[in-house]
Amino acid sequence: MEKINIRTLRRIDLVEITDEVQRIVARTGIKEGVCVLFCPHTTAGLTINENADPSVRRDIINTLNKLAPENAGYSHTEGNADSHIKSSLLGSSLTIFIEDGRLALGTWQGIFFCEGDGPRTRQVWVKIIKEV
């Protein structure tokens, strides 16, 4: 298992990590298999989405903020209940096929770490499994 360290800059942030994950895949030399990503944080998550147009990131953040606004009278009183909800909506793991030594992503797809309670230093755990 390898770990990607991420420093987020805003409270709610989407940070693309596609290149870092691909570098890990390439270092393994595995041509066919699966890449599993896991986010070990309860106020952050992972998603795959368009990485060409930055307005998509803004739209995702704006919609998450509408679905789970920051101060909405939550029972959890640490001030980050919305971040826990956003994390649950996004999920904590991704599985991506590896084909010919590369992540099998669509033309416009990228992998994003989704911060919900930043700025912070975070990690994503990466496990590469070789096809048998």
CA distance 68 to 90: 12
Q: Write out the residue range of the structural domain in which residue 109 sits.
A: 2-70+78-130
CATH of residue 96's domain is 2.60.120.460
CA 15 to chain centre: 7
Number of domains in the chain: 1
CA dihedral 39, 45, 50, 54 (to 10 degrees): -110
Residue 45 has pLDDT above 90, yes or no: yes
CA distance 81 to 112: 21
Does the pTM exceed 0.75? Answer: yes
CA distances to 29, 84, 96, 114 from 9, rounded to whole Å, are: 33, 18, 27, 11
For residue 13, what are the β-bridge partners? 115
pLDDT per residue over 57-112, tens digit each? Answer: 999 999 999 999 999 999 998 999 999 999 999 999 999 999 999 999 999 999 99
Residue 132 has pLDDT above 90, yes or no: no
Inter-residue contact 16 to 46 (CB < 8 Å): no
Q: Give CA angle at 78 (73, 82), nearest 5°.
A: 55
Inter-residue contact 87 to 44 (CB < 8 Å): yes
